[in-house]
Chain A
């Protein structure tokens, strides 16, 4: 579980050509979402907050900006994970899209409050891409989980 988060963080920091950075989905958020859905009793809002803080540092954002977004996303998933688990992958992707949007909007608000909001033309594209790749992220992480039998116990 920790390796997947580290891997997501590295994917997040991987240098990409300029135009691709606008498309890069939020791998870290996706991975956190998966683990909250898969193991809500182990991965909750607190861990989401800590991961968000790491994200803030890597992005040079105001500390707490992404942390806040991730906490809210994790909170919603904590309440709804039982329902989301029985959804089909497409339905899940829709939920993921909405959650990613919520997170991006929260981050955007903070940008706005601080006084320099980014231009919105491509701002929500990562959410869209994130929802599209969700089924693969889900299947990949579930395979990993079963392979290494990450259980609820340890």
Chain B
């Protein structure tokens, strides 16, 4: 027999307790990031299996597409890829010469050269968690030595950084999220700035740029590596609009991210300044030094 009335005070009391806990948890999570392990465990043991299951159909379709595609298509693709490879190799030849020259010049200036980071290819599991946030889920996690704050790039440029870790998956914040900022440098002039996300995956905002700064539409911006979180000299974006409102102390500069934030399927996790103890563990991962042998796996 079910009771006619639920015990009144108990529900109210429980609600109040839960509300208080919620608020405490939110503060703890937002201010001090104390709950990363809790989040990681929930993600690993409950959410990841679900996500994996959801992805199965699309994986199956991909797989059957691949295994059923006609010989002709495969041949065509092969030719296309060979052509691309040839082009890439030509560029690489030029690059390696330039790189040597650069290293020589730097040596002359007795500056340290720092090229070649460790990378690992990760696949994007899902993108649209919340349409108002710019985050993606990757299929690599703590098991693969991923760490919080690690940068991710795609074939074009910097995409973002890891913010949550699970055992087999991780969440990355994209450069276009409103809470994200990345220190950048304009390639042409060396002007330093910070690129803030705008919430729109096609726009970044460069703040605190004085009116008289030497800046043109079409200028490339690169990560400057200041702050130590992102590796230096990866392309971030291209300036698309500059406004210099009279009466304001700074210009409004907008840039378009170079990375395909909403289209990439595969991304690269970059180990730059890896924590010392992990260096040995990730040695088997390939390096990105552009020479013949290297290939990301």
Contact = CB atoms under 8 A, between A and B. Distances in A.
Interface in A15-32: 15-16, 18, 21-22
A18 to B, nearest CB: 7
Contact of A64 (B3, B25, B129, B132): B25
A102 B3 CA distance: 29
A72 to B, nearest CB: 7
A57 interface: yes
A116 interface: yes
A9 B15 contact: no
**In terms of DSSP, what is the predominant structure of the interface of chain B?**
helix
Given A63-B25, A68-B19, A58 B2 contact: no
Contacts of B6: 40-41, 78
Nearest to B4: A82
5 contacts: A15-B54, A46-B18, A62-B30, A64-B29, A68-B23
Nearest to B132: A118
Interface residues of B, number: 46
Interface of B: 2-3, 6, 11-12, 14-15, 18-19, 21-26, 28-30, 35, 38-39, 42-43, 46-47, 50-51, 53-54, 58, 126-133, 135, 163-164, 171, 178-179, 199, 262
Contacts of A61: 130, 133
A58 B26 contact: no
Contacts of A65: 26
Interface string A38-61: 001100111001001110011111
A111 B178 CA distance: 12
